[in-house]
Amino acid sequence: MSCCGHCRDANDFFSERTARGDLKKYMRRGPDKQTNLLVESIRKTGINGKTLLDIGGGIGAIQLELFKYGISKSVNVDASTAYQAVSKEEVSKRGLDAKTEYYFGDFTSMAPSLPEADIVTLDKVICCYPDMKKLLESSIIKAEKVYALVYPRVNLFTKIGFRLINLWFRISKSEFKTYLHSPSLVNEIISNQGFRKISNQKTLLWQVAVYKRGGGNRKTE
């Protein structure tokens, strides 16, 4: 498939070395704090037998954790070939091949052909995508019951950090870029599709929000 400069450089940035390092860390310590908060909040909604669509799935930490609690199937979408390869290896080691599907590329381009799922997750994804609104809207409609995401808080630490990160990308002549988004705007877009927030937790740098379908008027095109 064709790939924009941002997606191409994202694939280069999320390299095999980085992916294997992340997997090693996960195997040693489990998911990081914000991912663990996301998983625990989703688990409390009742997930036995449910299906998962993990957008920007990376090494597959969310699907591996939710398989422990009884999900029946996971679809992993990612724009990094290295991360998907590492994730597939671990899934195979655990005998979960038959329960897991992988799709490589830009989610928004592939969304119409992808299946819906009971649970849709985006862990540190909207901060890496140039069109946040399009990504949210095209992923929300895939969620049957639960929609959950981790994204950066807007505070002094993230403002300074993201400026430095993006400066480094510019110096490196990379088209990849990171983004900070208003939590109120993110919440508005999701709520407008008929979801209500059931959990909202914060770390120093990250916001962990979980939504459940119901309690709003879903907009349709």
pLDDT band at 103; cut points 50, 70, 90: very high
* Share above pLDDT 70 across residues of the chain, in percent, rounded to a whole number: 90
User: What are 27-52's pLDDT values in tens digits?
Assistant: 999 999 999 999 999 999 999 999 99
Q: Which two tokens stand for residue 10?
A: 């994202």
CA distance 116 to 138: 11
Spell out the domains of the chain, with CATH numbers in brackets.
Answer: 5-213 (3.40.50.150)
Q: Report DSSP letters for 47-82, one per residue.
A: -TT-EEEEET-TT-HHHHHHHHTT--EEEEEES-HH
User: What are 121-176's pLDDT values in tens digits?
Assistant: 999 999 989 899 999 999 999 999 999 999 999 999 989 998 998 898 788 777 77
Other CB atoms closer than 10 Å to residue 196's CB: what's the count?
A: 12
Q: Could you tell me the pTM of the whole model?
A: 0.88
